[in-house]
Structure 1
Amino acid sequence: MTAPRLSLSVCLLMLAVITLAEGMRGAGPKKCCFTFAEKAVSKEKVVGYIRTSQRCSNPAFLLKTVAGRQLCVRSSAPWLKEIIAYLENKNLPGQANNL
């Protein structure tokens, strides 16, 4: 009689631990990039940027354009640093540059 109760208790405890661990992981990233803009974008057309989550498989930045579009750009794109520097210098101190 004690063996079935012990087995049931162990199963319930394992289920509780798994549920707790999954809950602490969170829902996952909101936006990841799988296709990327290959051509350089004019810095005057970009109004903001954010880095994608570290949990995404491809490290990237999301650029928000004046037209309201979002473009995915690889972190390694050589022209990306110029756009980020431009946006950082353009924003006033204390003003967020995120989307």
Structure 2
Amino acid sequence: MSEPCAVETQVQVCHRCLMRLEASAGGVDLPRRIRATLAVHGQAVSVSLTGCLGGCPVGRVSVQLRREGDVSEVVLLDPARDGAELLAHLPCPSAETP
């Protein structure tokens, strides 16, 4: 496991996208799974729900990252990957990025 990143990142997950997912995708549990996935890679994150981020992809979840006043582009997550797509968008990427 790598050292924790010094930059605190906030992950904002679209509540509307979560509610549109099929129950089998486990949308209500996705924020916890995102936090766990990123923690394994040494990323300090807080995960919260937010309103619509402007895109409502079928079977995907819209997420926006906030860190030190900067806001990232909207990232579309596959709920089955538990947020692994976010690793490439974080300020301190891990050498173990999938």
Same fold (TM over 0.5): no
Whose radius of gyration is greater, 1 or 2?
1
Q: TM-score, normalised by structure 1?
A: 0.28
Q: TM-score, normalised by structure 2?
A: 0.28
Q: Which has the higher helix share?
A: 1
Q: Which has the higher contact order (CA 8 A, sep 6+)?
A: 2
